């Protein structure tokens, strides 16, 4: 197994953050990302970039972090007890985009690399990441484009890769207490090392590079759709599901908080305005009902 090249991973991730921010600023046409560099007391740091109150993006963040330390938090060693007592490094880019227009879906993506070491033993390392789409009003052509782009990113690595990671995404981004998916899925992978470092790194790059190809055309197509206050209220209601998932289930949120990460950067993924309604139900035959019936279901989009 090829030895990991952490500097190459870091260089790629920093460039990916730049490229995604540049493309999103271009699509917004008004707002710019504000950068906040930070240092972690236990080791490492990052650069948080946040965009808000733009023409298209209500709030978004594209974060890079590289943290390291002498020991792992409980969220990591609970699932992998063999990592206890090892030093660690974790690098990644993570992003969430919350648009103004309820016809533009929220999107989330991250790609990351993790390594744990101790003297006299081979390093334990893996790649992870993926992306998923959370529409408020469904358009089948948008979902097909999203999944087709994801499939094309996976194809050079085997015909079974997209179906496997698509299902993993469906299973992961699922709110068990609501018995519903968070959105229409995409890709999710973790613990990837069986291909060796070079191929695994190539795969992570393919996924990272394909995110903006998947999302930007959808934003461009939907950002000028007319909407009303009722549709905006429904978007804010559905954003509540996003908050619930991130605070109850999301591994990255738990790892970040337990490892002493920067709270402001970890929670930048939360939307600016959210509402919860008691026992709300969509009106039969409405576009809101259609979201539940035709889009918030596990299905093969392509």
Give the residue numbers annotated as catalytic, written as ranges. 108
Q: 207 near 131, Cβ under 8 Å?
A: yes
164 carries a ligand binding annotation: no
3-state secondary structure of 41: coil
Token pair for 28: 């917004």
Q: Are strands 44-52 and 57-69 parallel, antiparallel or unpaired?
A: antiparallel
100 carries a ligand binding annotation: no
108 carries a ligand binding annotation: yes
177 carries a ligand binding annotation: yes
**CA gap 106, 145 in Å, rounded:** 15
275 carries a ligand binding annotation: no
145 carries a ligand binding annotation: no
**CA gap 135, 213 in Å, rounded:** 17
3-state secondary structure of 277: coil
265 carries a ligand binding annotation: no
252 carries a ligand binding annotation: no
298 carries a ligand binding annotation: no
**CA gap 298, 35 in Å, rounded:** 37
111 carries a ligand binding annotation: yes
243 alpha-carbon distance from chain centroid: 13
**CA gap 33, 10 in Å, rounded:** 20
Residue ranges of the binding site for a divalent metal cation: 98, 108, 147, 177
Residue ranges of the binding site: 94, 98, 108, 110-112, 147, 177, 260-262
Residue ranges of the binding site for substrate: 94, 110-112, 260-262
């Amino acid at each position: 197994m090829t030895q990991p090249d952490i500097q190459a991973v870091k260089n790629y991730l920093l460039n990916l953050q730049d490229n995604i921010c540049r493309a999103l600023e271009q699509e917004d046409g008004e707002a710019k990302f504000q950068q906040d560099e930070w240092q972690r007391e236990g080791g490492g740091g990052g650069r948080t970039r946040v965009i808000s109150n733009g023409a298209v993006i209500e709030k978004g963040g594209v974060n890079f972090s590289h943290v390291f330390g002498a020991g792992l938090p409980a969220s990591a060693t609970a699932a992998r007890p063999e990592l206890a007592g090892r030093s660690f490094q974790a690098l990644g880019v993570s992003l969430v985009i919350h648009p103004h227009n309820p016809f533009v879906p929220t999107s989330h993506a991250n790609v990351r690399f993790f390594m744990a070491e101790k003297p006299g033993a081979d390093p334990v390392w893996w790649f992870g990441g993926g992306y998923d789409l959370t529409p408020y009003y469904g358009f089948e052509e948008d979902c097909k484009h999203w999944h087709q782009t994801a499939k094309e990113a996976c194809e050079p690595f085997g015909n079974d890769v997209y179906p496997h990671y698509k299902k993993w995404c469906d299973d992961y981004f699922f709110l068990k207490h609501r018995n519903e998916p968070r959105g229409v899925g995409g890709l999710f992978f973790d613990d990837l090392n069986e291909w060796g470092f070079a191929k695994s790194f190539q795969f992570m790059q393919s996924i990272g590079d394909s995110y903006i190809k998947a999302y930007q055309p959808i934003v461009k197509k939907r950002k000028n759709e007319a909407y009303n206050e009722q549709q905006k209220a429904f978007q804010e209601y559905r954003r509540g599901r996003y908050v619930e998932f991130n605070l109850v289930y999301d591994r990255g949120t738990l790892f970040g908080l337990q490892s002493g990460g920067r709270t402001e950067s970890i929670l930048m993924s939360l939307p600016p305005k959210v509402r919860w309604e008691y026992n709300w139900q969509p009106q039969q035959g409405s576009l809101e009902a259609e979201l539940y019936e035709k889009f918030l279901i596990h299905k093969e989009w392509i």
